A and B are shown apart, each in its own frame.
Chain A
Amino acid sequence: MLSCRDLEYKVGSFHLKGFSLELQKGDYCALLGPSGSGKTIILELIAGLRTLKKGSIIIDGRDCTRMPPQHRPVGILFQDYALFPHMSVYENIAWPLKIRKMKKNDIKGMVENFASDLDIQRHLDRMPESLSGGEKQRVALARTLVIHPKVLLLDEPLSALDAPLRDQSALLLKKVSLTGITILHVTHDQAEVISLANRQMRWNLSAPNLHLKS
């Protein structure tokens, strides 16, 4: 499903070299590494937000290496959620569907479905700034999932949440993974992915040896 081969990327003093990864459909892979090891950059490379120097990225059998981000079948959940502050929760979730020129009624139906799945239907008219961290995350997740990505990239999705919310959110991610979507979850905290991931991978830029556990 997701195949990254020998990725190489350089920005400033950061140099990523020889990063490879193979994930099957439905895999939940945790990419573990300390802060500053370039985990987020790897996600951005897969999403096409940065341009690779070398290597290839193949998603669902299609070579996406030079594909612009808007055409990649990838959804990304940022650590700070990146909700559009000038749009309501409803407009945030509906926005990617509007881009795809879907009919107004279909958009409404889909937004309401996802909102009820993620338990945010009562917040649809609110503005993002008035939401709590957990609510923001669920809105961002709904906005990403609504486009049915083949691969979901999660950037430290649990680290900014308080303990009770973290468990709730982990449960939600588990539920999402059961839909068969391939997930790559980057984190510095191994404990948070123990119950979630079926595969783990350690990444350290200073010693770029990968240890894959299945």
Chain B
Amino acid sequence: MDFFIFALKRKMMFLRKNNTTTRLVFLFLSGILLLFIAAPLLGLFFSTSLPDLFETIKDPQVQESIGLTMGVSALFTLLAGFFALPLAYIMARKEFWGKAFIQGLIDLPIVLPHSAAGIAILGFISRDSALGRLAQMLGLNLVGSPFAIGLAMAFVSVPFLINAARDGFQAVPERLEQAARSLGASPFRVFRQISLPLAKPSVITGLVLMFARGMSEFGAVVIVAYHPMTTPVLIFDRFNSYGLDYARPVAVLFIIICILVFMMLRLLGRKKKKI
């Protein structure tokens, strides 16, 4: 017994000396968290049969909803870029009164409940609003349109683009912009040929994040447009109407497509290095 206690004490001392305890505890805690992320997804994949998955791929309603979701999210991500990049640049480069307030405003959609964001967008485009009335004069109803879906997606996801691009611009040394100005470039040319190319990896990360966040949005989208159905709304609709077994293959298919698209975008955005 004494020998056993002695051996244990020595082992403890050895562990402490080598910092192994901390490493083991950290590894264990990290493992639990990774399992927490992976387990439900793996469970989802394993409980879906291949025939069910193929059946879902052929389902026109599913195909339509995936096309709509990805198309609208991509279009509104690109559209938002036109407005978000100048704003991100200003936030990175300029100091002005009320900057903290503007940053708070940019981050607001991240902390708002998404259903509340949906209600806000709905108020903005409903027939009582100026925009809604204008659309009605042109014979359009914005509520329940792909336009409304795009607005809801962009509203909740644009902070990711602005913040990533802002960090990218901040990392570009101001000296390079000054050198470019003194070499004869206008501020816009400096932005286009110096700042933007150097911030490109961060801007692409921001675009991918915005696209991803927009695509997966449910709360805000379901309020402004139940129909036409985006895939997250379709998954909810199938779960609500027919149960878990009908919703699961759609979810699995959408996850696979998301993973493929993001892997592709990451590869495209990877910096090519010249020597």
Name A residues whose Cβ lies closer than 8 Å to a Cβ of B.
44, 47-49, 68-70, 72, 74-76, 78, 80, 82, 84-86, 88, 95-96, 99-100, 126-127, 130, 143-144, 147
Would you call B178 and A85 a contact (CB within 8 A)? no
Residues from chain A with a CB closer than 8 A to the CB of B182 are: 47-49, 69-70, 72, 74-76
B44-63 to A contact mask, C-beta < 8 Å, 1/0: 00000000000000000000
Name which of B137-145, B184-192, B206-214, B245-253 contacts chain A: B184-192
Residues from chain B with a CB closer than 8 A to the CB of A127 are: 274-275
Name B residues whose Cβ lies closer than 8 Å to a Cβ of A.
173, 175-176, 178-186, 189, 193-194, 197-198, 274-275
Residues from chain B with a CB closer than 8 A to the CB of A130 are: 275
- A86 to B185 alpha-carbon distance, docked (Å): 17
The listed residue (A70, A84, A126) touching B176 by CB distance below 8 A is A84
Given A95-B180, A100-B184, 12 more A-B residue pairs with CB atoms under 8 Å apart are: A47-B178, A49-B181, A70-B181, A70-B183, A72-B182, A78-B179, A82-B175, A82-B179, A86-B198, A99-B184, A99-B185, A127-B275
Residues from chain B with a CB closer than 8 A to the CB of A80 are: 175
Question: 6 A-B pairs, CB-CB below 8 angstroms?
Answer: A47-B182, A69-B178, A75-B183, A78-B179, A82-B179, A99-B189
Residues from chain A with a CB closer than 8 A to the CB of B175 are: 78, 80, 82
Q: Smallest distance from the beta carbon of A139 to chain B beta carbons, Å?
A: 12
Residues from chain B with a CB closer than 8 A to the CB of A74 are: 182
- A171 to B15 alpha-carbon distance, docked (Å): 62
Would you call A84 and B184 a contact (CB within 8 A)? no
- Residue picked from A80, A82, A88, most chain B C-beta under 10 Å: A82
Residues from chain A with a CB closer than 8 A to the CB of B186 are: 70
- Residue picked from B181, B197, B198, B275, most chain A C-beta under 10 Å: B181
The listed residue (B183, B198, B275) touching A96 by CB distance below 8 A is B183
Would you call B275 and A82 a contact (CB within 8 A)? no
- A101 to B152 alpha-carbon distance, docked (Å): 44
Residues from chain A with a CB closer than 8 A to the CB of B197 are: 86
Would you call A143 and B183 a contact (CB within 8 A)? yes
Residue of B nearest to A43 (CB): B182
Q: Smallest distance from the beta carbon of B188 to chain A beta carbons, Å?
A: 11
The listed residue (A49, A72, A82, A88) touching B173 by CB distance below 8 A is A82
Q: Smallest distance from the beta carbon of A80 to chain B beta carbons, Å?
A: 6
